[in-house]
Structure 1
Amino acid sequence: MSAAPAAPATVRPSVPRRDAGVPIRTLGPDDRGAIVAHLLALDPRDRYLRFGFAAQDEHIRRYVESIRFGIDDVFGIFNRRLHLIAMAHLAYMVTPGRGSDAAEFGVSVSRHARGRGYGHRLFARAMLHARNHGVRRLYIHALSENAPMLHIARAAGATVVQQAGESECHLELPPADFDSHVAELLQEEVARADYGLKALRRVWHRAVHGLVRLFKG
């Protein structure tokens, strides 16, 4: 067991440049189906690292149904086919009479989409949103063998405490400012526009393919 830190670390945003323009959209209740499909596609090892236990299909479905949209926040990255290939869940720790000044972060990335910095990008997006909503401390609970998750936390400047095969990461977030609010607004608008264009492109492709089949028939 490592010694407890004297003081929590201060956030040090770190996002790979090559992924700086990846559109990340805020997800809502209508996206539950996409979330379920994404998580069910994870192999047993990835499910174990994401949830900390050997999550079966029913566990995943219950987890998705339990997401508190309207309280928590969920962010996602979609490919051109509108498949959710990476997602993050920002769960707020609500204190009676005080609201939410802390939140917990969890992330998953489809195996075929690894190595593109999506985990880092989602963490940066979640940190920005948390700052703008008054969150002062961000937590990550992960298995100590989950090297990618711990790398994301350490790259952002988090303090990591390991004990009995599990790790707790935490860091203090700076207060929101004008730039952080503008940055989040722009990111969300770009992500929504990107998703809309992908949806229109899919409708167009389906229409064209339907016409081709019609004429061939």
Structure 2
Amino acid sequence: MGLSRGTPSSNTSLALNWAWVPIRALGPRHRERIAAHLISLDEHDRFLRFGYAATDAQIAKYVDMLDFDRDEVFGVFNRRLELIAMAHLANAPATQQSDPRTMAEFGVSVLSKGRGRGYGTRLFEHAVLHARNRGADTLFVQALSENAAMLKIARNAGATVERAGSESEAWLKLPPETIASRVGEMMEEQAAEIDYQLKVQAHRVNEFLEALTEVKTHIKGTASIASE
């Protein structure tokens, strides 16, 4: 069945989200955190994310095969440095040598504790910005038809959604990059990096304080025993 690829009009383009979410690029050193995030998904969420109820072993293989040189992976960390939401933007090569434009495929997952905060939408918006700045002219989403949340995000962005039985495909035409889109992405990345480093420092301070409290408790306990 042929698929028509929609072009978002001015009134169906991505809405500006004033609730800023720090979205950070992930690399090879984050594989362990990515695996922990995906393994934390329950069976139903794994089914929605991968199209099948992926086992821990299958998830580990998927994470090991992530190509950070070709694709883009980014996510949202909470204050405990837990990856609570992440997206994978897989870049497909151009279909014709005369056309340098490409297509990118989007996949996302959000832990249950992070639901209702708009992380899926923000990750999609970030993927759109990132893809267009790298020459992609189409963002593609393949999802189970029961994945209403993902399909709603795509439709709200102006994507054309085609359903074929238990699966649906969404196509979103992307505008070309501009100076504004380049600057916007750069500012988002810098702000997210600052946010992440602040969380790292806060996490280290908390660990130190917890260790100090444990030492004090141990000293008090030892002194109490010695005085008996």
Partner residue of 1:24? 23
Does structure 2 conserve the Cα–Cα contact (< 8 Å) formed by 1:52 and 1:142?
yes
Partner residue of 1:50? 49
How far, CA to CA, are the matches of 1:63 and 1:15 in structure 2? 33
C-alpha deviation, 1:165, in angstroms = 1.2
1:110 matches 2:108 = no
- Structure 1 residue runs of 5 or longer lacking an equivalent are none
Does structure 2 conserve the Cα–Cα contact (< 8 Å) formed by 1:86 and 1:108?
yes
- Aligned with 1:137: secondary structure? strand
Does structure 1 conserve the Cα–Cα contact (< 8 Å) formed by 2:94 and 2:103?
no
- Aligned with 1:9: secondary structure? coil
C-alpha deviation, 1:94, in angstroms = 1.5
Structure with the greater alpha carbon radius of gyration: 2
Partner residue of 1:95? 94
How far, CA to CA, are the matches of 2:193 and 2:29 in structure 1? 14
Partner residue of 2:225? none
Does structure 1 conserve the Cα–Cα contact (< 8 Å) formed by 2:142 and 2:167?
yes
- Aligned with 2:136: secondary structure? coil
Partner residue of 2:7? 9
Does structure 2 conserve the Cα–Cα contact (< 8 Å) formed by 1:90 and 1:105?
yes
Instruction: Say how many residue pairs are matched.
Output: 213
- For residues 131-181 of structure 1, the C-alpha deviation after alignment (integer angstroms, 9 at most, x for no partner) is 110010010000001000101100100000001211010011001101101
Partner residue of 1:175? 176
Does structure 2 conserve the Cα–Cα contact (< 8 Å) formed by 1:88 and 1:122?
yes
C-alpha deviation, 1:13, in angstroms = 1.0
- Aligned with 1:34: secondary structure? helix
Partner residue of 1:128? 129
Partner residue of 2:156? 155
Query: Per chain length, whose mean CA-contact separation is higher, i.e. which structure has more relative contact order (CA < 8 Å, sep 6+)?
Result: 1
How far, CA to CA, are the matches of 1:100 and 1:161 in structure 2? 23
Does structure 1 conserve the Cα–Cα contact (< 8 Å) formed by 2:72 and 2:90?
yes
The two structures have a TM-score, normalised by structure 1, of 0.93
- Aligned with 1:10: secondary structure? coil
How far, CA to CA, are the matches of 1:26 and 1:206 in structure 2? 25
Partner residue of 1:141? 142
Partner residue of 1:86? 85
How far, CA to CA, are the matches of 2:100 and 2:146 in structure 1? 33
Does structure 2 conserve the Cα–Cα contact (< 8 Å) formed by 1:16 and 1:117?
no
Does structure 2 conserve the Cα–Cα contact (< 8 Å) formed by 1:101 and 1:136?
yes
- Aligned with 2:215: secondary structure? helix
How far, CA to CA, are the matches of 1:208 and 1:164 in structure 2? 55
The two structures have a TM-score, normalised by structure 2, of 0.88
How far, CA to CA, are the matches of 2:24 and 2:103 in structure 1? 22
**Partner amino acid, structure 2, of 1:48:** F
- Aligned with 2:41: secondary structure? coil
Does structure 2 conserve the Cα–Cα contact (< 8 Å) formed by 1:85 and 1:113?
yes
C-alpha deviation, 1:215, in angstroms = 3.0
- Aligned with 1:21: secondary structure? coil
**Partner amino acid, structure 2, of 1:33:** E
Q: CA RMSD in A?
A: 1.7
